[in-house]
Amino acid sequence: MQIKESTYNILNNAVSYPAFIVDNELNILYKNNSAEKLFKSDNGNLVLGNNFYSLIQKGIDYLSRQKSESYDIEDYFLFENKNYQITVVNIEEDQNYLVYLRQVLSENKINPKQIKINFDEVGDFVKDQNLLEIFNFIEDHYPFTIISKAKLKKELNNYKLPFYIKDIREKFVVANEAYLNEKFKTNEHQILEFENYIKSNKKLIVVEGAYLEEKDLSLVKFPLLNFDNQLEAIVSLAYKIPDLEVSTFHQEILLKFPYPLMLINNENKLELVTEHFYNSKKDLKDISVNDFFSKETIKKIQLFWNSDLLEERNFIEIVPDYFEISEKVSFYKVGTEKKKYILLLFDSRLFNQSQIEANKNMYDVIMHTSPEAIFIYDIDNLRFLEVNAIALKMYGYTRDEFLQMDLTDLYAPEDIQTLIENAKFKSTTNGEFSGPWRHKTKNGKSVLVEMSKSTIDFKGKKAHFNIIKDVTPQLEREKEIQLFKATFESTSDPIVLTDKDGFITYVNKSVVNNLGYRYDDIIGKSILSLVTDGERASINSSIFHSNEKEGKRIKSKVKTYTNEEIPAEINAFPIVNYEGEIESFNLTINLKQEPKEAKKELKLVSENKIQSYDTSFLSNLFHELLTPINVIIGFAQELIESVDNPDKDQLEASQIIQENHKNLMLLMDSAAEYASLIADNFKLSKSDIRFVDLIHDIEDSVKKVSKDEKTELTYGKISSSLEFNTDRQRLLSFLNLILTIAIKITKNDKIFLSASKFDSDNAYISIRDEKNGITPHLLSGLEKIFTEDENELKRKYGVSRFGIRLVRRLLDVLNLGLDFDSSANDDFKVIVPFEFSSENFVKEKIDTIPIPKYEEVKKEKPIEIPKVEKVIEPAKTEIPQVEEKVLDLSQLECLYVEDQFESQTLFKVQMKDLKSISYATGLEDALPLIKSKKFDFIILDINLKGEYNGLDTLRFIRQIPGYQDVPIVAVTAYVLPGDKDNFIAAGFNDFISKPVLRDKILDSLNRVLA
C-alpha cells in the first residue's frame, strides 16, 4: 500500500497517540512520530515484542468476524511498566488497519469529575427532570465510590423502567431492579450492533421497539466520555419517547450511522437512506419500494410487514438502474404505533471503497479520536464538508450551522484580506502549522489559532484537511511571562533560579549588578557557592534536601564576586511539576546592606597595583603547585624504598628532597598567612592562653631548624600561671618565626626562652643565647629584622622575605611590643598585653621548665631547670605498659576520594596490602559506593574539584546511616595555618598533609582505629 503524504501529515499532527498503519499480515506500513518516539530503541529499531502483534491480530480477527469498523482490545499492552489500550480500525477495503494506543493510568479508574455528558444531545430525547438530575449525579461522581454507587442505585430503583451502566469492557457498573424484570427483554443481537455504533462514533442512539413486550418503549443509549473524548462507559435506559418527526430522527441518528441502511415507511417508500447510497445513478428521494427492489424482494418486505417478527435475515435484490446488489441483509421493525418503519441494514462489504470512504476511511476515525479541532473544506468553494465536535465547541456552532458555512465565515471582514494573502503566499499543504491567525466564534469573540493544512480527496472532491490549535491561552500566557520577566529583571533584589539540586539555571540583572558576577560565569554553578562555607550544609539540607513544598526564609551571608560577605535573607520557593514533585527553586535574596561596587574595587586594584593578597587565591595556587610536587616526592620515596640496599648518595638525595619540600611548605605558609593579615577583613580569634600550653607546639615547629643549625632550644624562667588573651595561632606563628630567625642568627649552641610578668598590664617573652644574657651579635640581628631592608636580611641571614614581612605584620596585628637594650646586654623581650584585669594574674613563684635534653648536652648543677614533662604532666602515676596493637591491613577496606589520578596511583602503590581500595573523584562518585558497601575508613581530599569540596562531602557522608562513626581522614596538598584544627572541629578524625605516604597513613590509622 502506498501511503499518501497527506496521511503522514494528518497522523503526525492530528493523532497525539502512538499510531500505526498495518496490513493484513501485520507488516507496519507507517508509524507516526509519537509511535517512533515511544518505541524506538538506541539502534533505531522499533521495540514492540510478540505480544503487541498478537493483540493486533486479535483485533483484526474480531473485526473480520463481527464485520465491525473498530475494536478496543480488552487486554492491555504492557510497555515499560505502563498499560496501553490498543484500538484497531478497519480503514481500507484491501485489509489495511489503523492501530493506535492510549495509555491507561489505572484500570477502570478515571480521575474524579473528569467525565462529561452531552446534555444538548441527551436533552433532545429525555425530558424527565428526575432523570436529568440522575445524569448530573453520574457526571459528577463517576467512577463511583461505594457510597456514591449506593446512593445512585437507590435513586435508580425509584425509576420503574430498566436503567444500567456498563464500562468499556461490557461489565455492569450499576443496574436497577427493573432491569432484571422479565417483561423488559430486548433483542440482544440488535442491541450489540447499536453499542458498536456508540463505541466508534461516541454519539447517543435511540433504539425504538427494542423491547419485545413493551412496544411503546425505546432504548436510549449514550456514552460517558472523559476529557480526552475517549469512551469510559455506556448509560442505557428504557424511556417512552414522544412521537418524533422523521426528519429529526434522520438528522440525529441515521445520517451519522456508520453502516449502509434504508428506512421504508408504511407507504412502502424509501423515506431515508444513508449517504452510502448517494452515488446512485438516480435520486432516491421518495422512491417507491416497487421501483427500487426486485419483485421477489418486494414480496419479502410485504411478508415482513405482516408478520409478528421484529427482525429477520433476508436475501434481497436492487434493480440495476440504481445498484447492482444481490445479498442478504437484516430486516428490523422500528418506530412507534403511529409511525412504523422497516429498517434494512446492509453489510458494509457490499459497497466499494469509493462509496463508503466518507465514513469508513481513516479521516473519519482521526476526526473522532484527535484531541485537536478539525474541519475539512472544499478547495473550490471553501464550503465546509466535515467538522469534529472539538471544533464545534471551539467556534460555538452546531454541526448543521457549521456545515452551512464556508471558510470566510470564520474571519471578520477586516481579516478577509489576511485569508486571501494566506491562500496566495503563506499557505502550505505539507502539514506544518502556520499562524497565528485571527478567527471569530459564533458570539463574535476573537480567537488566535495556528493551522495545519493537508490536501486530500474527500467524497470525490479535492479538499483541505485542517487541524486547528487554539493558541489564545498560550499567547496570553506569553504576555504574562513577559510581564513577570520584566518585573523579574527590574527588581532590585537578586533573584536566582536553580534546578532541584541547587544548580543555577538563571539569574536576574540584580545578581550581576549587586553581587558583581558575570552571567556566563554563574550559570551552572551551585547556589551554595554564593553563601559562606559555614552555612552551605544548613542551606543544602533545609532547602534542597528537605523535600518540603512550602517556602523557606533563611538568614545567611552571601558572597560577592570579590568575596565580600553581605548579611542577607534568602526566600526560597520550590516549583513543582504536574506530578507534584519539586523540579526547581526560586530564591530571592534580600540584601541587608549595600555591597561595595565591584567596578570601583577593581579600579582601585588597577590603579594601585596589588594592595593586598587574596588568601584563597594563594591557597588554591599553592594547592595546584604542590599536587604534582607531592606526587613527585611520593614516587621518589617509593623508588628509594624499592631499592633493597640504597647507597649513601641515594639516601642523601631522598633526604634533600624531603627537606626542601618542608622548606617550600614553610615558605608557602608564611606567604599565605601574610596575605591574610594585610587583607581588610581579617579577624583575630582571641582566647585565654596559658603560655605553658604553647611549649609543645613551639618545640615541634623549631625542631628541624634547631637540629640543622646544631642549636638547642632550652628554657629559662617561665611562670606556670602566665596567661593572656590573644590569638593563639597567630602568637604561635610569631614565636615560631622569631625563634627560627634567632636560631639562624646566633653563633652559640643554645637559645633560651623565658616568659613572665612584665608589669601590671603586660607579660614578656624573652630570647637570649647565653645563660645570663644575649650576645651583641644576636641582639643586633633581631633588631635589624624589624628595621632594615628585607632583601639585605635574606642575603645576610638566609631568612625568607615573606618570613620577615610576616613577623613584622604579626607584631603590629597582635599589638606586641619590643624591649631591648644593647648596652646593658639584656634579653630581647617581646611584650604581650594581658588584656584582662590584673587580679587574674596570680603571683606565684617562678617555675623553670627545660625541654628534654639532646644527648650531647652535659648535665648541669641542681639549679638547672627541671624537665618540661614535670610541668606539663605533673602527675607521676606509673602507667602500665600496654602492648601496641598491630593493624591487620589485609582486613581493611578503604575509600579514597581524590580528584588527581596521580595521587590515586601513589596511594595504591603505598597501601597495596589493604584488602580493597575504592576510588572516587568527588561526592557524586562517592555516594553510590558508600551506599553499596561499608568501608572501614575513608581518606578524603579537602580541595576536590566541582561544587562540593571535602567539607561538603564529609557532611553528606556523616548523614548516611552507618557512617556516623566511620573514621574519615582529611588530606590536602596545602592548608592555611590553623586549618588542621578547623578540619578536626568540622568532624574529621585526623589530618594528613600530602604527599600521602605509608608511614603517615599508618600513624593516622593507629590513632583513629585504636
Question: Helices (DSSP H) in 709-825: which residue ranges?
Answer: 728-745, 776-785, 790-797, 801-813
Strands ordered across the beta sheet of 817-819: 817-819, 828-833, 762-768, 750-757, 712-718, 847-848
Q: For residue 98, what are the CA distances in angstroms to 293, 408, 577?
A: 36, 33, 34
- Measured CA to CA, the distance from residue 653 to residue 183 in angstroms comes to 113
DSSP designation for 855 = T
As assigned by CATH, the class of the 248-352 domain is alpha beta
The values of phi and psi at residue 35, to 5°, are -65, -40
Domain positions in the chain are 5-104, 115-242, 248-352, 372-475, 491-595, 612-646+885-1010, 686-872
Contact 334, 341 (CB under 8 A): yes
Q: Which pLDDT value is given to residue 82?
A: 76
Q: Which pLDDT value is given to residue 284?
A: 66
- Measured CA to CA, the distance from residue 805 to residue 671 in angstroms comes to 9
Contact 23, 29 (CB under 8 A): yes
Same fold across 248-352 and 612-646+885-1010:
no
H or E element at residue 588: strand 582-591
- Measured CA to CA, the distance from residue 172 to residue 163 in angstroms comes to 11
pTM for the model: 0.33
- Measured CA to CA, the distance from residue 151 to residue 147 in angstroms comes to 6
Contact 367, 388 (CB under 8 A): yes
Contact 307, 314 (CB under 8 A): no
- Superfamily of domain 686-872, CATH level 4: Histidine kinase-like ATPase, C-terminal domain (3.30.565.10)
Task: Return left, alpha or beta for 747; rule: phi > 0 is left, psi -120 to 50 is alpha, else beta.
Answer: alpha
Grid cell 533505531 in the structure block, residue: 44
Contact 511, 498 (CB under 8 A): no
| Cell triple for 91 | 480503514
CATH code of domain 612-646+885-1010: 3.40.50.2300
Q: Which pLDDT value is given to residue 370?
A: 75
Q: How long is the chain?
A: 1010
* CATH architecture group of domain 115-242: 2-Layer Sandwich (3.30)
Q: Which pLDDT value is given to residue 946?
A: 65
Q: Which pLDDT value is given to residue 198?
A: 81
- Measured CA to CA, the distance from residue 964 to residue 86 in angstroms comes to 53
| Cell triple for 563 | 568575596
- Measured CA to CA, the distance from residue 508 to residue 493 in angstroms comes to 9
Grouping H, G, I as helix, E, B as strand and the rest as coil, residue 407 is helix
As assigned by CATH, the class of the 5-104 domain is alpha beta
Residue at 46: amino acid letter: L
DSSP track, 409-469: GGS-GGGHHHHHHIIIII---EEEEEEEEEEE-TTS-EEEEEEEEEEEEETTEEEEEEEEE
How confident is the chain (1010 residues) per 10-residue block, as mean pLDDT?
Answer: 62 74 84 80 67 84 76 76 80 72 56 64 79 88 81 90 87 87 70 75 78 75 83 88 51 60 83 68 69 85 86 76 68 75 72 44 70 88 89 90 90 71 52 80 89 80 87 82 76 87 86 82 83 79 82 86 85 83 88 61 34 51 60 65 70 67 63 60 76 87 84 86 85 87 89 87 88 86 82 72 79 82 70 58 37 37 39 43 68 90 81 90 88 91 78 87 91 69 84 81 87
Grouping H, G, I as helix, E, B as strand and the rest as coil, residue 289 is helix
- Measured CA to CA, the distance from residue 744 to residue 793 in angstroms comes to 12
Q: Nearest Cα to 944, choosing from 961, 962, 931, 957?
A: 957
- Measured CA to CA, the distance from residue 428 to residue 862 in angstroms comes to 112
DSSP track, 976-993: -TTHHHHHHHHT-SEEEE
Q: Nearest Cα to 261, choosing from 351, 364, 152?
A: 351
Q: Which pLDDT value is given to residue 938?
A: 95
CATH code of domain 491-595: 3.30.450.20
Q: Which pLDDT value is given to residue 631?
A: 64
Query: Which of these CATH numbers, 1.10.260.30, 3.30.450.20, 3.40.50.1000, 3.40.50.11540, describes 372-475?
Result: 3.30.450.20
Q: Nearest Cα to 326, choosing from 318, 337, 338?
A: 318
- Measured CA to CA, the distance from residue 679 to residue 682 in angstroms comes to 6
